[in-house]
Structure 1
Amino acid sequence: MILSISGVVLLGTVVFIFFRKDGLKPSHACTSMLFGFYLSSTAIAPSIKAGGESLASLLGGMRF
Structure 2
Amino acid sequence: MAISLSVVLLLGIVLVVLLRGGSIKPGPAVVAVLFGFFLASTDAAPNINEFLTSVRDAIGDIQF
TM-score, normalising length: structure 1:
0.91
Q: How many residues align?
A: 64
Task: Please give the residue correspondences for 1:1-64 in structure 2 after superposition, counting only pairs within 5 Å.
Answer: 1-64=1-64
Larger relative contact order (Cα-Cα within 8 Å, sequence gap ≥ 6): 1
Structure 2, unmatched stretches of 5+, are: none
- Taking only the aligned residue pairs, the percentage that are identical comes to 39
Post-superposition Cα deviations, 1:27-61, rounded to whole Å, max 9, x if no partner, equal 11111110001000000110000000000111111
Post-superposition Cα deviations, 1:5-32, rounded to whole Å, max 9, x if no partner, equal 0110110011111111143111111111
TM-score, normalising length: structure 2:
0.91
Structure 1, unmatched stretches of 5+, are: none
Secondary structure (helix, strand or coil) at the match of 1:41 reads coil
